[in-house]
Amino acid sequence: MSARAIVVERAGLQSLIVDRGRFGLRHFGVGWCGAMDLRALADANALAGNPPNAAAIEIVLGDFALSFEAAARFALAGADCDAQLDGEGIATYHLHTAQAGSRLVLHRPRAWMRTVLALDGGIRVAPVLGSRTTDLLAHMGGIGGRALRAGDRLILGEPAIAPTGVVRKQPPCDFVFRVLRQALAERLWDREWTVGHESNRMGYRLRGDAQPHDLGSTRSRAVFPGFIQLPPSGEPIVLMSDAQTTGGYPLAGVVIEEDLWKLAQAPIGARIRFISTSMPT
């Protein structure tokens, strides 16, 4: 049986091959770089009958199209992009079947930011250092360590079991984030922050009623996704999937892992709030 393939026709703003991430290598300076919305990745893979860590495509703000060279089943999770399969509107959080020659089109979403497309069998690219996820900084993983482009032909793996009865729904997504406090946490509360336009997969830069500080830098230390750094401007930076491995800004707190996916769905200009939480026992 020849390998099944899809061809990217329109790659949108940024579409990346992702899995859950590349772990255990941060001491070499290698970030995790997994899906920004890990919850959408889990949901899409479950619907498509894939193992949770199968490689999928994470698409920023829709505007994406691909054609199927062979029949395949797939599911979309995360932002609803009014997807169309051969011109027919299809739902997110459902399993769909495409035929050879079918065409899938995603439009710009009316809300949210990122959509995960999981295809049965997963995207078959060679793992690099234990993961298929794209690392734009190290130029590795995915296809040559870069975002997808029109014309890219992606091979699908062997589909596992045919999924039946899997139900996933779009989770509610307010932009209120539970934070475990660090020394400068008081500067986070009781105000709205706006997602700044320089925000990306490395970090979300927030704008708002910030108090500058003159604490300068601290000694470099390891940092991880979810950490909220406070540069001297006082405007928080929340580290995301592609965060660098070390940093020297003081910490205000850490967004809990359960909430971080929501930030991946907050578009530029979104207003967000932080609330204090305590460690579950």
State the nearest-atom distance from the C-beta of 21 to other proteins, in Å.
10
Shorter beta-carbon distance to other proteins: residue 7 or 25: 25
Query: Minimum distance between the CB of residue 53 and other proteins, rounded to whole angstroms?
Result: 14
Cα–Cα dist 138/277, whole Å? 35
Q: Is the dihedral of CA 145, 256, 54, 94 positive or negative?
A: negative
Tell me the three state secondary structure of residue 56. Answer: strand
Closer CB to other proteins, 156 or 255, in the complex? 255
Nearer to other proteins among residue 70 and residue 256 (C-beta): 256
Nearest approach in angstroms of CB 245 to other proteins is 5
Q: Exposed/middle/buried for 84, CB within 10 Å: 0-12, 13-18, 19+?
A: middle
β-pair type (271-277, 176-181): parallel
Residue recorded with tokens 């290698």: 30
Cβ atoms of 90 and 67 closer than 8 Å: no
Least separation in angstroms between residue 11's CB and other proteins is: 21
Closest contact distance (angstroms) between CB of 32 and other proteins is 9
Six token digits for residue 23: 């772990």
Q: Least separation, in Å, of the C-beta of 171 and other proteins?
A: 19
**Which residue shows structure tokens 């065409």?**
103
Please report which helix (H) or strand (E) contains residue 275, including its range.
strand 271-277
27 vs 169, beta carbon nearer other proteins:
27
The residue (of 3 and 215) whose beta carbon lies closer to other proteins is 215
For other proteins, the binding residues (CB under 8 A) are: 23-31, 128-129, 135, 137-140, 180, 182, 219-222, 224, 226-227, 244-246, 251, 254, 256-257, 279
Give the SS3 label for residue 174.
coil
- Beginning with the edge strand found earlier in the chain, give each strand of the sheet holding 114-119 in spatial order: 14-18, 56-60, 114-119, 72-78, 95-98
Angle at 15 between CA 162 and CA 231, to 5 degrees: 125
Q: Which of residues 206 and 254 has its CB atom nearest to other proteins in the complex?
A: 254
Q: How far is the CB of 278 from other proteins (least distance, A)?
A: 11
- Can you read off the two tokens belonging to residue 134? 């794209």
CB of 5 to other proteins, least distance (A): 25
Looking at the Cβ atoms of 68 and 261, the one nearer to other proteins is: 261
User: Closer to other proteins at the Cβ: 169 or 219?
Assistant: 219
Q: Which SS3 state, helix, strand or coil, does residue 123 take?
A: strand
Chain centre distance of CA 124: 19
* Integer Cα distance of 77 and 274 in angstroms: 25
